[in-house]
Amino acid sequence: MQPSLNPGGSQSSDVVLLNHWKVRNFEVQRGDIVSLVSPKNPEQKIIKRVIALEGDIVKTMGHKNRYVKVPRGHIWVEGDHHGHSFDSNSFGPVSLGLLHAHATHILWPPERWQKLESVLPPERLLVQSEAE
């Protein structure tokens, strides 16, 4: 999730506040930073940004298909460090059932304390949204 989280690389690790309550009904929005169970290793949790919701068509970055329509009950997640992230471009859409929590704030280190904004990177705008 660099540069949004851990901008210093391996020199520092951000500690984030995880809100489990917000995802209990799978209420996520594009741009949210979420914690989820890794689709490839159920013992591991990963943190990614929600790029697309069910029904959205997303232009992929390295996925086997150039465009993907996110199926019902799934989301498309990506890390902010494109090309160096293990995300939906590697494993495809993620089931909402794997959602763990919504990351809302950076708590540590103190000089990085801040609210995490739910924004889509400008280069990751959708091809088509079901809301349109």
pLDDT in tens, 11-21: 678 888 899 88
For the whole model, what pTM was predicted? Answer: 0.83
Question: Domain segments of the chain: what residues?
Answer: 18-115
pLDDT at position 49 is 94
Q: What is the CATH number of domain 18-115?
A: 2.10.109.10
Return the ∠ at Cα 25 (arms to 23 and 30), rounded to 5°: 55
Alpha helices in 1-132 (DSSP H): 88-91
10 Å Cβ neighbour count for 5? 21
E strands within the chain? 15-19, 33-37, 45-52, 57-59, 67-69, 74-78, 94-95, 99-108, 114-115
Give the phi and the psi of residue 123 in degrees, each rounded to 5. Answer: -80, -5
